[in-house]
Amino acid sequence: MSSGVMFPRTDASILADDGDSFTFCSTCAFSQACMSSGMDKSALAELHVLVEHIGPLRAGEHVFREGDPFGAIAAVRAGTVKTYLIDADGREQVLGFHLPGEVIGLNAIHDDRYPCNAVALDTVMLCRFSFPQIALLATRLPNLQQHLFKLMSRDIGVASLFAGDHSADERMAAFLIGLSRRLALRGFSPRRFQLTMSRTEIANYLRQAPETVSRVLRRFERDGLLAIKQRDVEILDLPRLEALALTILRH
Amino acid sequence: MSSGVMFPRTDASILADDGDSFTFCSTCAFSQACMSSGMDKSALAELHVLVEHIGPLRAGEHVFREGDPFGAIAAVRAGTVKTYLIDADGREQVLGFHLPGEVIGLNAIHDDRYPCNAVALDTVMLCRFSFPQIALLATRLPNLQQHLFKLMSRDIGVASLFAGDHSADERMAAFLIGLSRRLALRGFSPRRFQLTMSRTEIANYLRQAPETVSRVLRRFERDGLLAIKQRDVEILDLPRLEALALTILRH
DNA sequence: CGAACACTTGACAGCCCTCAACGTGAGTGG
DNA sequence: CCACTCACGTTGAGGGCTGTCAAGTGTTCG
């Protein structure tokens, strides 16, 4: 079992930077930090120098594995990354699905090791940031420091979202609405999208049996909440779905 | 319903600093940052200037409430702080119990509002850190910045600990072992301690009914895992309790 | 001493997990 | 082009864990 691709490296898997960093990074998690008011051109340049473009990774390739020494965080540029743990019984516990623009690895700072596995669900492109380097840069760029704080602060809240004891329906609705909103943030359609993960992976995320996931989705379809064929989802009754999700998402 | 005590203030509720900051702060969450190698005396002094001692708060007094504008984080100096949400059905969802040496408010950075309530369970003393000020200081003290990153990174992991679907027994064991270890970290006995929260509050934390909490504790007692009288806990069979907790705590 | 609250214990029911079987779609090789 | 395979997904039956409801006991505090 080989390790991930996040170890310090300067080999072929790092793409040469293109000549159009601005548009390339416009959907990146750090774009707000980069483009926002206070950051001047030289600062932007410093951040760009720091980035290593990694990929494409194919489905099943690991970004990092539990226990790997921590050295870098990464922003998803394209594709979906799944973070997960294998518990004592050998069952997979999915911690999150990470879409373009989202950052992974922030939970590894604490004990200098990645506390979970991260794997590509489809073709994935990443921007790798050496953490010591970006932390150092953050001491000179308050906007960047603030942005890192916010990213981490948000993850604290996200992690506790699905911690409550809610019904299978509510969990599924919250999952779909959450996905829809995050996709919308990056310019994708919030009503029609493709699931990049299997029913089983959704189940492992929502702490349910795959059979339950399947049954709930079918019932949602019968009730006119959505249409789903394979992994193609179309939300038909957004208000009702949001009402279900409300108990978890809170707004 | 009055708001919490975390708003910017320079009134009587802030204690004058005592003359013995060193020992006073020795159990603080920032003590590692303060005392650790790289931080010189002047840096230590700067951090101390920034602290506002708040309290004592009595049981039931709120530190902050959901929606309050974010301005500061706080380290618990004494007592226990419970963070919680009230869901749409009016039911309490406990996010965490925070012991001396632990920091609250880190999840509020993201959207500049506290996303939950924080209330004192007993007599609580706090150290308040204005976030803009400590963030500014962190740009000059890399050790402090790193410490903040680590605190937040840890909270991400803690929040997902109890997210898995585990049995009532495992959840309770993990709760007790976690408590025991955190108390031990601060110099308290890991085998005998007092619960500062009610059965109902434990239940709301573990996402169970209070009756289930009661039953599990009684069964643990019958099985010789622990002795419990009211809120006094004595762990009798640490290995077996740890074995139960292992599926959640992972080590 | 009484009231309010916390805790315990029992009976019952419901949600969802488990187990099992079947259907479906994509990819492969003949 | 078709049969085959295999993973994924769906559907049904049954059971267990834990939530709900109810009643009783113990504790604290005015």
Which of A148-157, A198-207, B12-21, B160-169 has the lowest average pLDDT? B12-21
Residues in chain B with CB shorter than 8 Å from the CB of A160 are 95, 159-160, 163
- Which pLDDT score, from 0 to 100, does residue A40 have? 63
User: Which of A91, A130, A143, A152 would you mutate first to test chain B, the one with the most B CBs within 10 A?
Assistant: A152
Residues whose CB is less than 8 angstroms from the CB of residue A151 and which lie 6 or more positions away in sequence, other chains included:
A29, A103, A106
- Which pLDDT score, from 0 to 100, does residue B9 have? 57
Report the distance separating Cα B163 and Cα A89, nearest Å: 16
Q: Which of A85, A135, A159 sits opposite B145 (nearest CB)?
A: A135
Tell me: pLDDT of A20 over 60: no
- A209 beta carbon < 7 A from strand C? yes
Residue A144, token pair as written in the block: 């960047």
Question: Does A136 lie at the interface with B, CB-CB under 8 angstroms?
Answer: yes
Q: What is the DSSP string of chain A?
A: ----S-SS--STTEEPP-S-HHHHTTTSTTHHHHHSTT--HHHHHHHHHHEEEEEEEPTT-EEE-TTPBP-EEEEEEES-EEEEEE-TTS-EEEEEEE-TT-EE-GGGTTTTB-SSEEEESSSEEEEEEEHHHHHHHHHH-HHHHHHHHHHHHHHHHHHHHTTS---HHHHHHHHHHHHHHHHHHTTS-SSEEE--S-HHHHHHHHTS-HHHHHHHHHHHHHTTSEEEETTEEEES-HHHHHHHHHHHH--
Q: What are phi and psi of B90, to 5 degrees?
A: 85, 10
User: pTM for the full model?
Assistant: 0.91
Question: Does A150 lie at the interface with B, CB-CB under 8 angstroms?
Answer: yes
Tell me: pLDDT of A55 over 80: no
Report the distance separating Cα B106 and Cα A40, nearest Å: 28
Residues whose CB is less than 8 angstroms from the CB of residue B204 and which lie 6 or more positions away in sequence, other chains included:
B84, B91, B92, B93, B94
Residue A100, token pair as written in the block: 């373009």
- At B56-92, the pLDDT tens digits run 999 999 999 999 999 999 999 999 999 999 988 889 9
- Residue from A125, A152, A107 nearest A53 by CA: A125
Domains of chain A, start order? 14-161 (2.60.120.10), 168-249 (1.10.10.10)
Tell me: pLDDT of B30 over 90: no
> How many of the other CB atoms lie within 10 Å of CB of A243?
14
Tell me: pLDDT of A9 over 80: no
| The dihedral sign for the CA sequence A165, A169, A173, A175 | positive
CA distances from B35 to B29, B40, B44, B52, B238 (A): 11, 8, 8, 19, 33
- Which pLDDT score, from 0 to 100, does residue A39 have? 61
Q: Nucleotides on strand D with an atom closer than 7 A to protein CB? A: 8-13, 17-22, 27-28
Give residue A144's Cα distance to chain centre.
Answer: 20
